[in-house]
Structures are given as structure tokens and as C-alpha cells.
Amino acid sequence: MNAFSYVRPRTLSDGLRLLRSGASALAGGTDLLGLMKDGLARPELLVDLTGIEGLRGWSRAKGKGLRIGALTPLVELEEAEELHRAMPILRESLRDAATLQLRTMGTVGGNLLQRNRCWYFRDQATACWLKGGTKCFAVEGENRLHAILGAHECVAVAPSDLVPALIAYDAEIALASSRGRRTMKLADLYVAPHGRERREHVLRPGELITEVRVSESALARKGAFQKAMERKAWSFALVSVAAAARIERGVARDVRLVLGGVAPIPWRVVAAERGLEGSGFDEAACAEAADRALQGAAPLRDNGYKLPLARELVRRTLRSLVV
Amino acid sequence: MTLAPPRPGARVKVRGVIGEPAPREDAVPKVKGEFQYASDLWREGMLHGATLRSPYPFARIRKVDVSAAAKLPGVRAVLTQDDVPGKKTYGLMDRDDQPVLADGYVRFVGEPVAVVAADTIEQARAATKAIVLEYEVLEPTFDPIAAIQPSAAKLHPKGNVLERVRILHGDPAAKADVVVEGEYEFAMQDQAALGPEAGLAIPREDGGVTLHVATQWLHEDLDQLAPCLGLPESKVRIVLSGVGGAFGAREDTSIQIHACLLALKTRRAVRMTYGREESFFGHVHRHPARLFYAHGATKKGELVFVRATIVLDGGAYASSSSAVVANAGSFAAGPYRVPNAVVDCVGARTNNPPTGAMRGFGAVQSCFAYEAQMDKLAKACGLDAVEIRMRNGLVEGDAIITSQPLVGSAPIAEIVRRCASLPLPETAAHRDQSELPGGHANVTRGEGVVRGVGYAVGFKNVCYSNGFDDFATARVRLFADAEGPLARVHTAAAEVGQGINTVQLQIARTELGIERVELETADTNVGSAGSSSASRQTWMTGHAVLQACREVRQELVRRAEREGLTLDRTDLADLLDRPIEKTVTYRHQDTEKRRPDGQSRGHVAFMFAAHRAVVDVDVETGLVKVVQVATAQDVGKAINPLGVIGQIEGGIAQGVGLAVMEELIVEKGRIRNASFTDYLIPTILDMPPVIADVIEHPHPDGPYGAKGVGEAPTISSTAAVVAAIRAATNRDLERVPVRPDDIVFGTSSRSGWRIAPGDDPRRAVRG
Amino acid sequence: MTRITVTVNGAREETAVEAHESLLTTLRERLGLPGSKNACEQGECGSCSVLLDDVLVCACLVLAASVDGREVRTVESLADGSALDPVQRAFVETGAVQCGFCTPGLVVATHALLRENPEPSLAEIREALSGNLCRCTGYGQIVEAVQRAAKTMYLHGLDDE
């Protein structure tokens, strides 16, 4: 690890003031400290946010939807029964996200901003395109785990399990920096690295996620999450699928379908959602949506299996909303 | 001298003797966190060592400049090949093979080029980065079959064929009614011991050095180390430190020579500990293999011939490739009666990471292929998996394809039958959702799930083979202190987690009839015990301790007789006014060297196990859950039943891991997944329940009839799991590990070489 | 260097730490508590599991500087002198220890489990310990140890009443 200074501010405004250039925000540390140990992150100043009051915990005020503080440990979301009743997809998506220890340490904000797991990116000795190099080594290399959809110069996949689940509920995030505050749709946070955008999200320098919000109307949706991984615990998704819809008298409205592990960003498939709108998630509609979800897929040498895998996972996830 | 009152009847029952389930003697410090592992070693004022490794698979070193690195703060020494005072090369089986530090060439990614000692580990690592190196990159060779063709570029002065074993048995041109063929691929597995490579070297006032290290074989380390340091062996002492698992990975040296060089140079204690990533680059792995097989049988399914060509990728340096090749070849036909066999087995030198010992040592690779072949044959002959194995299984007196007859029991039919009769698990419908393929966010609620059952049988030698002078020494000292008689057992056997220390204590208690037995720390102050490998320590060190104890006891008898006493009725303390010390070196019976046709009585004994795996496969997504593994294993005699179960279950876990998830991804010579995030080993959720039928057919030459235990569980469990997946999916699955892709698409991987089974792979044709 | 004050196994410790230092390093190299193990130092194996303010974490991914004023319990705190606690005893008796490198982490994780859930089902045991890798045992005897410890602690609890 490089040498750095460490501060633990007590207020958000102090924290934001400290997050100048060269500084990194530290929450659970489960991703950032690993990156720093591997020399992939080299902050001069580490701003430990865990002392800041008011960013931890969640609330659901009547009619105002759900608010989740960015510093809430993942395990707290997973264990709260009330939250589980309100939005079961949270527990479903979190329990396979990492080990108990890591879910205890890891926070919601950190999960949303975790870096990808591409082994070329994570290898200090490989100057891949995303790290400023000239080429993506995965395109012609070992790419079993890489993207089949939506990739440009970089074929790493979005790693989070929680994010597709939240996007299926149209989650918004609140952001703060020393220059002000803004909100955006969580889905808009992510960007497939391309051109001069050698990054996975559009967070501005010095900006923090403070809160995740899910509206009351979205909470009326039924959701489902499924994840295929190569062992039964603590393994990143080969493919994950989050689906949600409001189901009125057997008819689907506000359908959302988001895939993880297949593209550099959480892969929302609006075309498939539209096709399902008004359907009853019958077999034929789900199968068609599964095909649509993978339209335009361009598998690499070793990851073609993700196509049938994702197709089947989409079909089953959608079906599980009604069966 | 006072005499204890004669005790009526037999002696007081001694606890912790052989055959009793005995908790480990080191379990208490281990559960308390007090047990000292090599990476826990600490000395006031010690320095920290770090290693600079090659980024290239094959390159000539044009220039090395350490001057900038040496001037960095805290740096005490920077060493390259020029600074090695003695022999510049080492190697487990060939001392002239591998440079201590790169000798002008680097031959694999991760090859040590220079080592640094500094006040802190950060300073040491920073210094490795400040070493200036100029490389001329050379054209590497990664395909092991390409590497052994006559036209291939020579990667090392000793050439690219590390070993070749050709076995001719019976009629090489035998014909059969039913013939099945297959090409198989075996990926690279890692031992993945949790304890990192580590040690502490402390310079001595006499110019020598003491090394505390986690290793499998103290004396072998000494024999390699002392010449490189330019010291006589008397000036180097190696002490076993706590070992956090080994599984073969600690048979080769890692930090040993480097830490000692740095300690001698700086005259300071130096600790070296690899991190997890470096560990993956810093130890040998299991040989990947390509296997080309043909099996011939009568219509009734009786084997007529086996022909096989096996190419093992030895990587850049020899390590133990020669012995792994010999094993893969000798056991290439499995534990079956095979009248005619042709086997050609070659170990290739490439620019991949070096491979060497791992649990099962050559037997695992061929077992995967021959058991797949046996299932193919069963299908072709209309037999089931159990029948074909019972029909062809070796019985006592039968010879394997090296013409060695089996002595003691060879209960193949029995272990298969007993394994098959163990209870099967409940059907999927009755089970917990969490036991289905996939995680909590289950991708299935039972849909698409097909159950499969598969069998496999494996065997392997116990102890060293083919004329190797295999011995183990034990020193037993019996004396009396205020609390009564006390025995101290001193051997150099490496306790790596397998339980040899408890076995030694149990044997000493049994033989001496006393409970107070203690072990001295294993070190090189006593004779060699050989390696903790080849499932041999119970047999070898067990025998040595047993015999040393018997000599002690004979002396007790003599002393008792001199006093006119009966030993059984005498307090031993009364006979111990002088201690009794006996040192015994045990050698197993001679084994023959391999003849040019591969035939020999080359092994001292064999161990056998059968496995039955039950899997649930989500056939649409390719996800697998191993539901149960049943096993019947002949252990000869379970000296410590608790330890035997631990070895069986642990060995099976490594076999299951290889079957469905464990693979080092090596791309252009570089390991891509050198972490526990990317190199997956089974978690507690992945590991199924194991039902074990432990069979005790004593071997006439083993201590109390014991055979080895540790490797058999790993040898055929992989093959059984893959057989079960085949049964569920109807896919050929000719490669391990089986990946979701293989199940969904039925992908099989061809080597791109045409080799008729049994042919010399050094004359292969592309296509 | 930063000075921190931390309560470790009930004792107040004051020590200087580097900014980049992990709690695991501080415990092992500065406070003489090498019981928590350094198998991966990336949060992948659970061998360094400790309780931080009573919560199970991987000490390798906790910055030492961030534990100022907090409380840490490690495997070294569990036994009372030579008397093992029920979890430790169960691990010894069932053969759940082989090389033992994963053992301290598993013992601490088992404590965390049994405190929350004194009578865990088989599935709950597996779930709770799935962040602790073991390469030696195949986990069978570990499951047995946890079940035995749960039973002992339950019976012991009855004795207390």
C-alpha cells in the first residue's frame, strides 16, 4: 500500500470538505482496501466516513418511500424483517453477495461503487485500457467471466448483486459534494467505459452517495432475484437477474428487468420490459422476453455459455413472479 | 530402590493408544490461537525479506542493476545469482535444474530473480521495485505436446523432456471385440494450503544458520540448502515450524534458500512470508495433463488391453515431475486386471509455472481418464458401473501393468460393493432449498434439476518407489521424573496437519504401555524421516517409532530380569534410574528400479478407495451441487480413526473441488486467478456429507497392518463426481474441472494433436 | 504514525500504528496476538475473523487507525487460562482441527453464530461459516464441532438457571 493520511470526520460537511483531489472515501473498506493493497488505488488521503452521523440506517415513512443511508452495512438491510416484507429482493440479492464477514463490513454506498473483478484490471502488472493502457486484454484473453453485451473498449462486467435489484425498483440516489447536492436515478450512475470515459460510473470528484431511495409506488412491485455462480457461496455472478413488476389481477405493469454479470453496466432491457407490459408472465411471454433481453449479444471466445444461462435465468426469474 | 506394590492382574489401561479416536496433541494450542505457524515467527530486530519475480515466461536477462535498490532506506541486502556463495542450482529430484536466483534466463512468470532484506516489509518490497532489469524477451512454449517435439526450441540446457516412462505389458498388438477411445484434459489444480510459505532464518555465531520453516521434508531441504549456502550440513539446522497445510506444495523449497542467504549476508534474522498472490506464484502446482486412451474388452466386459499416451505439463523446472510421470504411467490402467498394456507417459518442460507434488501425485490424472474409459466400456458392453469394476478389479496375487503382484489385500470388488451399498441421499424434493444447485438466490426451485450417480475406483503406491532408499529414523528416550516414567519421541517427520504426531504418540503409548509420551520438535538434529508425502509417514515413521519403542522395551525387560522382576508387575520408574535411549532407522523392503520396458516390482504397497458421488445438476444453467460422496477405503488399520475420517473427508473435498471448480487459469504462462476470490475452493456450503466405510484389511508389512490414508480419497473422488455429472447430463465431459459451459454446450477440449493411444507423444501430428 | 487506544480482549492498549496498517497487522505484529491468521489478507478466507464491537469482521480489511476507541475480541480471549471454552473444546474433540490455520477464525465465527442463534440448524451452521475457508477437513468434523458446542452451551445454560 502507498503512504497516505487518514482522517475520520464527524460530520458530512467536514467529510465533503476533506474529499479534495487525491482523497478517497472509505466506508466498509471491503473493496477499497483490497484495491489499495494491490496498488490499484493510491489515495493520498483516506477520509473514513464511518464516524459521520446520519448516514447509517434506513427508514420508511408512510407514503414517502424507503430511504437507506449509504453507510448502512449490507447485513442490516438483509436482517431487518420489516424491510424484508417491504422489499424482499434486498435480502435475496444480498445473501449471496459476499461472505457474512464482508456483508457485515460492507456498506450500501460501497457496494454501489465497487470496482469490477476483471482479472486483468485487478492485476497490478497489467496495464489494461481501463487503467490507462492501450488495450483490453480480456478481449483476446481469458474471458469466461466477461461481458456479452454493451461493451466498448472494456469488457469487464458490473459486479454488484444489489444494484440490479435496486434498479428494478427504480431506485434513486442522493449525492452530496462540497459544491452542493443532487439526486439521480441509480441506473444513470453507471457508464460503460468508452472513449475518454475510462471509468465505471459518473460520480464527480469529491462527491459522495449519501442515500438510496425507493419510492412508495415502486415498493408496490413484486420482485425476484436470481444469481448463477460457480460455487454456493462467496462468488461473483456469472449472470444475475433482477425482475420486478406491479401485478394487478394477474396483469403485469411497470415491468423492470435488469441483468448483472453480462455487461459493463447493470443491463436493463427496456425492450423486454415493454414486451411483458400487460402480460401475465406466461411461459411464452417470459421466453420471448428472455430472447429480447439478449438481443445484440456479442459473446467472446469463452463466454458464449452466458447466453443460454442468462436466457434461462431471465425466464425463470420472470416466471417466479407469478408461480 | 523401592519396589511398587505388585499390581493385581493386568496393567492400568493406557489411554490414547492405537485404534482409539485420539484428539490431536496440537489441537489445544491451535484452538486457542497459540500454536506458532511459520508466518507467526518473530524476533526482536528481525529483517523482512521480499522477492523480485520475473514478469516474463521466457527471457534472457541482459542487465541487472541493484545499486539504486541497495541505497533505499532500510535496505540491508539485495542479492542476485552472483551472490549465491555455493551451488547455484537446486531441485527436488535434480539438483542441477533450477537456479536459486535467475541465472541469466527466466523461464516462467514468477521465477525469483533477486531477493531483498530490509527493516520493514514495505521497504523490502519497495526495493524489489527499484531493481533495474533489462530483459530480452524470447519466444516461449506453452503447449506441452509442442514442447516435446523434435523441432521444439530448447527451453533449458537439459532439454524439454523431463521424463518419459514407457510401459509394455503382454501383447502390444492385442485385439479386442469392444474398443472405446477417448481424449481427456486435466487442468491445473492448486494445493491452496491456507498457511502461506514462510520461515525465519537466524544466523549463528559459528557462521552457520538455523532456519525455522514450514516444510514437508526437513532433510531434503537441508540437502538442497547447505550446498547453495556453501556450508557443510553441520552448520545448517532446520527446525519445523507450524505448518498451515501442505498437500504437496511444500515439498519443493520456496523461501528456504533465499531467507538463509539473506540472513547470512546481513548477519541478522530474516523472516520471509509470501502473501496469497505470491504464494500462487511461489509454489508448484498439480500437473495439467492430456491423456489419449483406448480400452479393449471382451463382449462380457473383461479387459483385454489398455493403451494410453499421457503428456503432463511439468512447467519450467523439473521439481518432482519424473516421479509424477512414473506414477501416472504405472497406474494408467487403474486397479484392474489388464493382460496387455502399452503406456507412454511423458513430462514436458514448458514456460508454464512449474508443477510438482500434490496429493495423489500422478495417480489423479490417469484415474480421471481410465475411470471415464471404464464407464464408456460398461456402456458399450451393457454393464453398469459397479459390475464392470467388480468384474475387472484386482484381487490379491494379480499383477498390475508393471507386472508387480499385489501383496496383502487388494479388495477392489469388496470396496466397490461396499461403497455401492452405502445409503443414498434423499431425493431432491425432500431437501432444503439451500442444497440445490446455486446459492440462496436459487436459480432453480427444482426445475431443470437432474440427479446423477457415478462411481470411481483408484489406487496408488504408499511410500517411495523404484529403488529409492526410503527410510525414517526415530529416537525414543524413556526416563523417569517426579511424576513417573516419561518417553520422548524425536523424529523429523513433518506434521503438516495430517496427524502424524498423534500417530507417533499413539504408537509409543501402545508399545511402551505408558501414557506420558511427548514429542520433541521435528528438526535435523535427528535422522531423516523422509517427506510427509506419498501417504508414507504412518508407515515409515510409524514403523521407526514402533521399532525404537520395542528396543526400549527390550532394554526394560533386560533390566527387570537383572533385578529379578517381571516387567508387567513393575513400576517402570523403578527401572529408569538411567534413561534408556534407542535410535532406529527403518527401511521398507527394497523396491526394484524401473526396467526399460517399464516393468518392475517398483512399489512397496498400495492403497485403494472407491467413491460414489451423487450430484444434482441444473441442466439448463450448468450449475452443479454435489449432494453426497460415499466411499469405501481400505486403510489396513485405522491407527487414529478420528484422523482417518478427517483425511478421507478432507481428501474428498479436494477431489470435489477439482471436479467442479478448481482451476488455475494460466494464460501465456501467467496465472490469472492468483487469489481466493478467483481461484475457488469449496466452502462449507459446497461440500456434501461424506459417508465413509473404513475397511481394515491389514497389510502384512505395515505397522499394525496400516496402509497410507491421505491420498486415496483424492484420487478417485474427482472421477466419481464427473461420472455422476455425465450420468445426469449425457455429456461426455472429457475435461476437469467441469464448467457450466461444458454442461450446457457439451464442450470438450481437444489438444489439437493426433496421437494414437500408446504411441510416443514426441512424434505427434497436429490435427 | 497515528496513536490509537483500543480495548483488546478486555485490556486497554495504546499503540502507534501506520496509516496503512490493518487491524490484523496491529494484532499480530504489535500487540503480540498472532492467533488471528494471515491466510489471504484480502477478506477472502475468514482466517482473521475477530469481533469488532461484537460484530464479526475480517481484521485484514479493517484499518487499524479506524479502531481507535473501539473494542476488539480475538481468539486469544476465549479460553480461561488452560480451560477451553465449549466451542474450542468441541473443535478439539471432534477432530475439526487439522493444520489449524483456519481454526481461530472458525472458532470466533462459531461464537458469533451461537451467540445470535444458540440452536442453529445444519443449514444455518453452513450459512454462518461459509465465509471461512478450510482446506484440510472437508468441513464434516467442523459441522459436528459446532453442533456439539451448541449442545454443550445449551446444557450449560440450563445448569446456570
Q: What percent of chain B has pLDDT over 90?
A: 92
CATH number of domain containing B633: 3.30.365.10
Q: Examine the domain organization and report whether C103 and C150 are in the same domain.
A: yes
What is the residue range of B558's domain?
27-37+471-587
Which residues are within 8 A (CB) of B685 and not within 5 positions of it... i.e. 6 or more apart?
A231, A232, A233, B434, B439, C126, C127, C130
Q: What percent of chain A has pLDDT over 90?
A: 95
The pLDDT confidence band at residue B569, using thresholds 50, 70 and 90, is confident
Spatial separation of the C-alpha atoms in residues B484 and B486, rounded to whole Å: 6
pLDDT at B447: 79
The tens digit of pLDDT for each residue in B507-516 reads: 999 999 999 9
Q: Examine the domain organization and report whether B577 and B707 are in the same domain.
A: no
Asked if A249 has any chain B CB less than 8 Å from its own CB, the reply is no
Residues of C in contact with A3 (CB under 8 A): 19-20
Beta strand spans in chain A (E)? 5-7, 23-26, 45-48, 58-61, 65-69, 172-177, 180-185, 208-214, 222-228, 239-248, 251-260, 267-268
Q: Is the pLDDT of residue B108 over 60?
A: yes
Asked if A107 has any chain C CB less than 8 Å from its own CB, the reply is no
pLDDT at B12: 61
The tens digit of pLDDT for each residue in B194-246 reads: 999 999 999 999 999 999 999 999 999 999 999 999 999 999 999 999 999 99
> Could B32 and C141 be called an inter-chain contact, meaning their C-beta atoms sit closer than 8 Å?
no
Q: Examine the domain organization and report whether B454 and B308 are in the same domain.
A: yes
CATH number of domain containing C101: 1.10.150.120
CA distances from A310 to A100, A138, A149, A251, B731 (A): 27, 20, 11, 24, 21
Report helix, strand and coil shares of chain C as percent, to nearest 5.
45, 20, 40
For chain C, the first-to-last Cα distance in angstroms comes to 49
Burial of C15 (0-12, 13-18, 19+ CB in 10 A): middle
CB pairs under 8 A between A and B: 101
User: Is A276 within 8 Å of A252 (Cβ atoms)?
Assistant: yes
The tens digit of pLDDT for each residue in B703-739 reads: 999 999 999 999 999 999 999 999 999 999 999 999 9
> Pick from C74, C95, C128: which residue ends a domain?
C74
Q: Is residue B20 part of a domain?
A: no
The tens digit of pLDDT for each residue in B246-259 reads: 999 999 999 999 99
For B578, other C-beta atoms within 10 Å of its C-beta total 10
Q: Is residue C81 part of a domain?
A: no
The tens digit of pLDDT for each residue in A242-277 reads: 999 999 999 999 999 999 999 999 999 999 999 999
Chain C interface residues (partner A, CB cutoff 8 A): 2, 19-20, 22, 41-44, 46, 49, 55-58, 61-63, 65-66, 68, 109, 127-128, 130-132
pLDDT at B429: 59
Burial of B2 (0-12, 13-18, 19+ CB in 10 A): exposed
Looking at the structure, give the CATH architecture of the domain made up of residues A58-114+157-320: 2-Layer Sandwich (3.30)
Q: Is residue C8 part of a domain?
A: yes
Q: Is the pLDDT of residue B478 over 90?
A: yes
A133-142, A229-238, B607-616 — which is least confidently predicted?
A229-238
pLDDT at A183: 98
Task: Tell me which of A92, A232, A315 to substitute to probe the interface with B (most B C-beta atoms closer than 10 Å).
Answer: A232
Measure CB to CB from residue C133 to each of B21, B648, B676 and give the nearest one. Answer: B676
Residues 401-440 of B with CB under 8 A from C: 432, 434-435, 440
The pLDDT confidence band at residue B746, using thresholds 50, 70 and 90, is confident
Q: Is the pLDDT of residue B445 over 80?
A: no
Spatial separation of the C-alpha atoms in residues B444 and B450, rounded to whole Å: 11
CA B398 to chain centre: 27
> Pick from C46, C74, C102: which residue ends a domain?
C74
Q: What is the DSSP string of B90-123?
A: E-SS-TTSEESS--SEE-STT-EEEEEEESSHHH
pLDDT at A63: 86
Spatial separation of the C-alpha atoms in residues A160 and C43, rounded to whole Å: 17
CATH number of domain containing C47: 3.10.20.30
The pLDDT confidence band at residue B2, using thresholds 50, 70 and 90, is very low
Note the pTM of the prediction, 2 decimals: 0.97
| Angle between the N-to-C axes of helices B363-381 and B321-330, in degrees from 0 to 180, rounded to the nearest 10 | 20
Q: Examine the domain organization and report whether B307 and B418 are in the same domain.
A: yes
Q: Examine the domain organization and report whether B348 and B438 are in the same domain.
A: yes
Chain B: residue nearest C132 by CA?
B683
The whole-chain average pLDDT of chain A stands at 96
Looking at the structure, give the CATH architecture of the domain made up of residues A1-53: 2-Layer Sandwich (3.30)
Low-confidence residues of chain C: pLDDT under 50:
161
Q: Is the pLDDT of residue B752 over 60?
A: yes
Reading the block at residue B232, the C-alpha cell is 557443510
| Averaged pLDDT, B315-333 | 98
Q: Is residue C79 part of a domain?
A: no
pLDDT at B134: 98
Q: Is residue C20 part of a domain?
A: yes
- β-pair type (B623-634, B690-695): parallel
DSSP-derived 3-state class of residue A239: strand
Q: What is the DSSP string of B671-701?
A: ES--STTTS----TTTPPPEEEEEE----TT
Measure CB to CB from residue C57 to each of A3, A48, A104 and give the nearest one. Answer: A104
DSSP-derived 3-state class of residue B617: strand
Q: Examine the domain organization and report whether B320 and B381 are in the same domain.
A: yes
User: Is A49 within 8 Å of A15 (Cβ atoms)?
Assistant: yes
Asked if C91 has any chain B CB less than 8 Å from its own CB, the reply is yes
Asked if B195 has any chain C CB less than 8 Å from its own CB, the reply is yes
Q: Is residue C156 part of a domain?
A: yes
Q: Is the pLDDT of residue A109 over 90?
A: yes
The tens digit of pLDDT for each residue in B329-347 reads: 999 999 999 999 999 999 9
Q: Is residue C58 part of a domain?
A: yes
Burial C46-67 (b: 16+ CB within 10 A, else e): bbbbbbbeeebbbbbbbbbbbb
pLDDT at B428: 60
Q: Is residue B182 part of a domain?
A: no
The tally of CA atoms less than 13 A away on the side-chain side of residue B474 is 33
Q: Is residue C69 part of a domain?
A: yes
Q: Examine the domain organization and report whether B479 and B574 are in the same domain.
A: yes
CATH number of domain containing B210: 3.90.1170.50
> Pick from B587, B621, B655: which residue ends a domain?
B587
For A204, other C-beta atoms within 10 Å of its C-beta total 10
Cell 454493451 appears where? Answer: A150
Measure CB to CB from residue C43 to each of A5, A30, A48 and give the nearest one. Answer: A30
pLDDT at B8: 37
| Averaged pLDDT, B468-473 | 97
Q: Examine the domain organization and report whether C97 and C156 are in the same domain.
A: yes
What is the residue range of C115's domain?
86-160
Burial of B3 (0-12, 13-18, 19+ CB in 10 A): exposed
Q: Is the pLDDT of residue A67 over 90?
A: yes
pLDDT at C160: 57
Residues of A in contact with B740 (CB under 8 A): 228, 230, 238, 305, 309
pLDDT at A37: 92
| Averaged pLDDT, A157-161 | 98
User: Is A232 within 8 Å of A83 (Cβ atoms)?
Assistant: no
pLDDT at B436: 84
> Could B445 and A320 be called an inter-chain contact, meaning their C-beta atoms sit closer than 8 Å?
yes
Q: Examine the domain organization and report whether B737 and B616 are in the same domain.
A: yes
Which residues are within 8 A (CB) of B600 and not within 5 positions of it... i.e. 6 or more apart?
B402, B403, B404, B466, B591, B592, B593, B594
CB pairs under 8 A between A and C: 78
Chain A: residue nearest C55 by CA?
A104
User: Is C104 within 8 Å of C36 (Cβ atoms)?
Assistant: yes
Q: Examine the domain organization and report whether B571 and B606 are in the same domain.
A: no
Measure CB to CB from residue B741 to each of A142, A227, A305 and give the nearest one. Answer: A305
Q: Examine the domain organization and report whether C41 and C100 are in the same domain.
A: no
Where are chain A's structural domains? Answer: 1-53, 58-114+157-320
Burial A173-198 (b: 16+ CB within 10 A, else e): bbbbbeeeeeeeebbebbebbeeeee
Task: Quote the number of domains for chain C.
Answer: 2
Residues 125-144 of C with CB under 8 A from B: 125-127, 129-143
Task: Quote the number of domains for chain B.
Answer: 3
Reading the block at residue B98, the C-alpha cell is 533450477
pLDDT at C158: 65
pLDDT at B4: 39
B618-622, B666-670, C104-108 — which is least confidently predicted?
B618-622
- The CA R_g of chain B, rounded to the nearest whole Å, is 27
Spatial separation of the C-alpha atoms in residues C146 and B544, rounded to whole Å: 37
- β-pair type (A208-214, A65-69): antiparallel
- Which residue, C138, A145, A307, is CA-closest to B678? A145
The tens digit of pLDDT for each residue in B45-78 reads: 999 999 999 999 999 999 999 999 999 999 999 9
- Nearest chain C Cα distance for residue B736, angstroms: 19
Q: Is residue B13 part of a domain?
A: no
The tens digit of pLDDT for each residue in B367-415 reads: 999 999 999 999 999 999 999 999 999 998 999 999 999 887 778 999 9
CA torsion A281-A285-A290-A293 (nearest 10°) is -100
